[in-house]
Structure 1
């Protein structure tokens, strides 16, 4: 688990540094993408056993790419990545591209020094400096200035960004007096909807699924209050359904929400410890990190957890990322042990480039779970077709507990090749995500494109899944 956390941080750096490169012609983009996937995707050999089919498909795309301009190229690249039927392979435009391959949004002419000096005296709660601290993995980080616009509303402009495609001064969004907004997504496509301002400190764009936290002037909310409200905006919550049953809703295990989940459990222990039944609703949870659900295990597990290990595909991206991490961590005395471990990993990867490497000591791990002492006697976990990655890992572990039942439909089936990270394939106008390891369950117990079956299948005639589970548990 530790290597996943380190790789998450360092591989993002490698991608974000790619912003100064030239935009690729479509044939070049396809060629670079195929080279990257064929050499660094852990599931490539398994997914292309029929070489005649794969090579024929690739040749057809090459012919299509040769006559496709830059504005339509994404459709060709998406068709290629879709061939592998792996939810951890993900490609998207990093920016909108016009007929000439040039991109921009309207620039704001503003004196930053004057803007910052005026903030303390401004009575407008929206004016200030904001950051999207709870951005989803793979997204772009922004520092945004909000100032008054000529039309009576407010305008949000980029002060800094982790993406090379968003320049200081570009317009990120507009806020109108009637509560509506115009919002440019990471690829600069326009979204509209309604926004909500909470406590003069949290700005939520409902339809854009984006949250910005006020940095200056400083918020009056505590960090815990901020996390609680952001969690509510995104659908996290816990509530008592009856005298016997509690409902816990966890729509994501992504990295920005780890502390939100910890708070949810920590500050609501009576609802977990004092109830006979617990329903955990993870429908729509596409995963994130295994760290997110660790705090729940003492309440739902009746025994230790047995898990198969993983093998990382040794690649230049992994080595480069780890070397970048060493440059930032080498002077930190608290990370001396971690630094030595990373050096060992680099040595293993360099000696086995292009091969699979198990950095652990065994193919199987046993996780001992210390019981919380008090907790529910019966647990139901709600799943659907959108549950994937680390959320499926949670289901796989929870199924080993004697007091857990899985209810709903089969999960998405995306766990054989995981720990997905952003990769640079030489065309910065696109964002590419690839998994970095394969599970040692393979080939005996595949989950990709199969999913995890529920213990209780809920068909279409069941309209209210939560109520069904309440009745099931309390009968």
Structure 2
């Protein structure tokens, strides 16, 4: 696949709400998606036209009852969920008023209350990126009030998160994002008494001033999961670890730098663990420097075909003017634009062949064995990396099945005529379809690490396995 970014994080332009019609927004969304999304017809063939018509009828009825643009946005998002889980989205570009109430939460009194408790539990003062919150049990919920924040939109006393205990003893969370919008989190995991993980490594909370220190193994896990940049650790004389939190295009320079600075160590160590847990994707070029380290034999990569429409093809023009793209990439984009424009309405393979084969001259003697840690958060480019890496005889995949959002990819975006909404959709479809689909299934690990092995022990478990093999 050509070096294009899979954008998973949306950064909408903010505007002020104007007069709108939710039905008009829906009509625009439906027409634009049907005409331009590379996965629309594929989803229709999988789910059936009758089901789609019924879905449209139900959605239109719901849309007519929308109270305001924010409510309309939520209902339109539900319409989109019919098609697939990943590489799709709808952003609301209306600035939200900060209506979050400031509660009477006294840190000093709460700290005194905690000091008098004989045993630590969920109640406590917790740190997370940009915030310190006090988790206090009120009724059946644990409410997290802001104590300190580096975000000017948040004040002490405002409610940042709510933990709800389910009937089966598990927890779910309601989390208020930086702009006070709501994110519902279906999984809350207790790493140990001092650390909580929300949304499968999406967010980690660490207890402030714990009465009992955490194990070194837990602290290492939290460090790895909280790290926003790649890093290398020497775990033992026989094993090194490379942590890659993201394959974002902007992270490529950091990945390349950490590999270059530690290449001598990596290539002189018997075993290598590559930890990509929580890595949601990015750009294929971000993992290029990793492949020579683990390479043993030619790597086959099945390409994609792009749906050619005037709107879709306009992205190529943006690439030509993008200073972040190399001259070679700009030449590719210019040639690709011309080819696509000549075949409007068709799926077009812009590469010479459907399958590319990457051959390298050298096979490094070390590392001899490579274990890659993967989980349910891995999607898009992270899955593309795993498909490439697992072709090496050195590599074994360990962990849990991935998210399964790779077949329909290469994202683009367009604003609605009102500018209230931005549609994020996909331009390409994998040529692996239908023989080897990933969407809805995920990539399976060679070694499934079940619930009897806590996530914080995955590194030590993998290290032990590699060193004993």
**TM-score, normalisation: structure 1:** 0.67
Could you give the per-residue CA deviations for residues 422-445 of structure 1, whole angstroms, max 9, x where no partner exists? 333434333332121111111111
Aligned counterparts of 2:242 and 2:317: Cα–Cα separation in 1: 40
What is aligned with 1:126? none
The Cα shift of 1:374 comes to 4.9
What is aligned with 1:35? 31
Q: Is the alpha carbon distance of 1:434 and 1:66 closer, same or farther for their aligned partners in structure 2, counting shifts above 3 Å?
A: same
Could you give the per-residue CA deviations for residues 317-356 of structure 1, whole angstroms, max 9, x where no partner exists? 2332333455678xx9x94x66554343223222222210
Residue 465 (structure 1) aligned with residue 466 (structure 2)? no
Could you give the per-residue CA deviations for residues 148-203 of structure 1, whole angstroms, max 9, x where no partner exists? xxxxx9998xxxxxxxxxxxxxxx55799xxxx9xx96756599xxxxxxxxxxxx
Q: Which runs of 5+ in 1 are unaligned?
A: 106-152, 157-171, 192-206, 210-228
Aligned counterparts of 1:21 and 1:173: Cα–Cα separation in 2: 19
What is aligned with 2:297? 303
Q: Is the alpha carbon distance of 1:58 and 1:276 closer, same or farther for their aligned partners in structure 2, counting shifts above 3 Å?
A: same
Could you give the per-residue CA deviations for residues 9-66 of structure 1, whole angstroms, max 9, x where no partner exists? xxx99x86x9699563221222211112111111111111200001111111011101
Aligned counterparts of 1:285 and 1:339: Cα–Cα separation in 2: 28
What is aligned with 2:191? none
Worse overlay, 280-289 or 67-76: 67-76
Q: Is the alpha carbon distance of 1:451 and 1:2 closer, same or farther for their aligned partners in structure 2, counting shifts above 3 Å?
A: closer
Residue 250 (structure 1) aligned with residue 244 (structure 2)? yes
Aligned residues of 1:421 and 1:434 also touching (Cα < 8 A): yes
Aligned residues of 2:4 and 2:284 also touching (Cα < 8 A): no
SS at 2:289's partner residue? helix
Q: 2:342 aligns with which of 351, 358, 361?
A: 351
SS at 1:441's partner residue? coil
The Cα shift of 1:468 comes to 1.1
Q: Is the alpha carbon distance of 1:370 and 1:81 closer, same or farther for their aligned partners in structure 2, counting shifts above 3 Å?
A: farther
Aligned counterparts of 1:382 and 1:273: Cα–Cα separation in 2: 19
Over the aligned positions, Cα root-mean-square deviation in angstroms equals: 3.7
SS at 2:403's partner residue? coil
What is aligned with 2:467? 474
Q: Which runs of 5+ in 2 are unaligned?
A: 101-147, 161-175, 184-201, 205-222
Aligned counterparts of 2:376 and 2:410: Cα–Cα separation in 1: 20
What is aligned with 2:87? 88
Residue 399 (structure 1) aligned with residue 390 (structure 2)? yes
Q: 1:51 aligns with which of 43, 46, 49?
A: 49
Q: Is the alpha carbon distance of 1:208 and 1:424 closer, same or farther for their aligned partners in structure 2, counting shifts above 3 Å?
A: farther
Residue 386 (structure 1) aligned with residue 377 (structure 2)? yes
Aligned residues of 2:229 and 2:254 also touching (Cα < 8 A): no
Q: Is the alpha carbon distance of 1:374 and 1:424 closer, same or farther for their aligned partners in structure 2, counting shifts above 3 Å?
A: farther
Q: Is the alpha carbon distance of 1:382 and 1:231 closer, same or farther for their aligned partners in structure 2, counting shifts above 3 Å?
A: closer
What is aligned with 2:211? none
What is aligned with 2:234? 240
Worse overlay, 64-73 or 425-434: 425-434
The Cα shift of 1:373 comes to 3.2
What is aligned with 1:284? 278
Aligned counterparts of 1:3 and 1:247: Cα–Cα separation in 2: 26
What is aligned with 2:208? none
What is aligned with 2:113? none
Q: Is the alpha carbon distance of 1:190 and 1:449 closer, same or farther for their aligned partners in structure 2, counting shifts above 3 Å?
A: closer
The Cα shift of 1:260 comes to 1.1
SS at 1:461's partner residue? coil
Residue 437 (structure 1) aligned with residue 435 (structure 2)? no
What is aligned with 1:411? 402
Aligned counterparts of 2:16 and 2:2: Cα–Cα separation in 1: 31
